[in-house]
Structure 1
Amino acid sequence: MLRPAKPDNEAARLEALRRYRILDTPREAAFDDLLAIAAAICDVPMGAITLIDAERQWFKSKLGMDDAPETSRDTAFCAHAILAPQSLTVVPDARLDVRFQDNPVVTTPPGIRFYASAPLLDPAGLPLGALCVMDHHPRELAPRRQEALAALSRQVSQLLELRRSSEELALQLQDRAWYEKKLQAFADALEAHNEELAQQLHLDALTGLANRRALIAALDERLAGDAPFCMALADIDHFKAINDTHGHGVGDEVLARVAESLRAAAGGRGLLARHGGEEFAWLLPGLDLDAALPLCDALRAAVAGAPAALPVTVSIGVAQRQPGDDKASLLQRADLALYAAKHAGRNRVAAR
C-alpha cells in the first residue's frame, strides 16, 4: 500500500475546506440523493461523498458501507484522487494497483475492488474531496458513465458552494437588497445545474438513448390520448454469449454500437430508448402496424448490416395500441411478439 502524498497546495486547500464549515455536520438528504443517483447510474452497490481533512477522510454521505463517520487519510482512495483534481480517478481492480493492493479496505470488509471518483472542487479549483462509487468486483466504467459521474460531482460541488453561501448570507440579513440579489444569483446557478442533472436522469448513461424512466413517461402520455401508436421491442440476439465469451466490457461496446445503429436508422422518428439490459424500445406515435412494420425491419437490417469486428443482429416485436390497453398489456403483447421473432429464428420482425 502506498500512503497518499499531500498536495503542494495543501495549506490553501485545507483553508478552503474550513470555509465551508461542513466537517462533522449531520447527513443531509440533498447529498444522499446525489450519491444515490451516482450509484444507480454506475450500477454499483457502494459510494460516498468524502472530504479530505488534514489527517482523516470524512464522509458527508455514504451508501452500502458501515456507519463510521471517518477513516484515516492514509487508507483513503480519495486522498489519492485529490492529487489529480482535473480528472476522474478509475481503479478497475484495486488488487492489481500497487497503491491499494494490500490496503485494509481492499483485503478486509468492505472489500473494495473497483473504485471511481470525480473531484469536488471549490470555485478556485482546489480539491476538497470526491464523489466516489465502488464495487466488490473488478470492472470497467464506460465513458458515458464517467461523464455522468463527472456531471454529478459538479452538482455536489455546487451544492457545497450554495450551502456555504447560504450560511454567509444569513449573516448579512441587515442588507436585504444585497441578500436577495446574491441568493437569486445562486438560485439561478443551481437551476442551470439541475437542468443538466435532469438530462442525466432521462438518458441512459451507456448508450445515450432515452432511459426506461423517459420511455414510461412518454408511454403514459400516449395512453392518455386516443391517437394510434405502436410499441416495438428490440433485443440483441445471443447477447449472453457475447458477455460470457468476450466479457462485459465488450458487451457494453456492443450495446453502444447497436444503439448508434438504431439511432441512425430511426432518423429522429418517435422515441428510441434503452428498455433494460440488451433490450431497446421504439415508441412510434401516429402509426398502425402496416406503417410500423417496414420501419422496424429497416432498423433490424441496419443493425445486421453495420460493419463491425463482432457482428450482431436483433429480433424485434411490434404491438399496436388497442382499446383498453394499459402499459402492462401493451408491453406484454410487444414482448410476446419479440418472443415469436426469436422462436422463428431471430434476426426478424414479428407483430401481435
Structure 2
Amino acid sequence: MLELQQVAVAYSGHTVVKDISLSLAQGQIGCLVGPSGCGKTTLLRAIAGFEGVAHGSISLQRQQVSTPSQQLAPEQRQVGMVFQDFALFPHLTVADNIAFGLGTLNKADKLSKVRQLLQLVGLPDLGQRYIHQLSGGQQQRVALARALAPQPKVLLLDEPFSSLDTELREGLAREIRQILQQLHITAVLVTHDQNEAFAMADMIGVMQHGRIQQWATPYELYHKPANRFVADFIGRGVLLPGTVLEAQQVQTNLGTFTQRYASDVQAGDKVDVLIRPDDIVHDDNSGITAQVVEKAFRGSHILYQLKLQTGEQVQCLALSHHNHAVGEHIGIRLDLDHLVLFSRLT
C-alpha cells in the first residue's frame, strides 16, 4: 500500500531526511519515533504531499506519487491526516466537522456516513455538540472520524496524543489501532513516545539525524536493537562491560553467559552487554547481591536501581510484593534469552 525508496527531503539545499526506504502492506500500522529534530514529521509531510522529495520515490498502491521530477497534489493522494492540534473547526458541531470532507455526497448520504463514523469512534450521541464541549480524548476521536470520512488509502497521524495526559494516551492509542484494523486502513504514526508506538504499531522506524537506524517489529527493536542508539532509545537498559571467552561465551560481573546467536565478536574482545530491567530477576537464593540505590513504585511492579559490588549500576523490575528499602542488599540473577553485544568503544 505504501512504499518509500531511498527518499531524501531537503530545505534550501540542506538535506534533512536521507536515504529512507520502508514499506507497509494494506492494514499495517507503521510508526516513526526519534528525538526532536530527527526528521520524522518532515518524512510524514512528504508522504502527505506537503513536501517534495529531492531523491527517491514515494508510491501508493504501486503508483508513484512523489519523485524529484513529479509530485501528485495532496488532495489527489487519498491520504488522510490527523494533526497534532486536531485542527477542528470550533464554530461547527461535531457532526459538521466530520462531514466537512464529504462535499460530493448528498445530504442523506452525509448524515448516514457521519452516524456510522460517530458510532465507530464511540461518540454516537455527541454529534450536535461543539468542540469546546468535548474532552481532549473526545476531540481526538472527532479528528480521527473526520480524517476517515473520505475513506483514505493511508492515514497519517502527527503526534496525535501529545496534548493528552499519559493514562489516556496509551488507552486511546490501542482504541485507534482497533478501529484502523477493523477498517483495514494502512497508517503511519509519528511520535516521540515509544509506549504509544508499542501500543499502535506493527512496524517501527527509529530515526536519528534524518536516517532510519532500524525498521522492525516492536519485539525486534526491544530485544535485537541494530546499534547502540536504538538500544538506548528503545526501552530502559544499561550496557554492562564484558569479555568474550572461547565457545561463544561472554564474561560479565553478573556471571558468564553463552552467546547463542551469530556475532562478529571474537575471543578476547571487550564488549558491552545490553541489560534490560526485565533481564534481572530478584532471587534471594542467588549468590550475587546488589544494593538498592533508588526505587520507583509502579503498582504491580517496583523498578529498582541497583549497585553491583563492582560499582556498576543496573535496573531490576520486580513484583511489588518484593518491597525492599533503599540501602538494602538483595539477591539477583540474570535471565537472558539471548545476549545483545556491542564492541566496546575505546
What TM-score comes out, normalization by structure 2 length?
Answer: 0.27
Name the one with the larger helix percent. 1
Q: TM-score, normalised by structure 1?
A: 0.27
* Greater share of residues in strand: 2
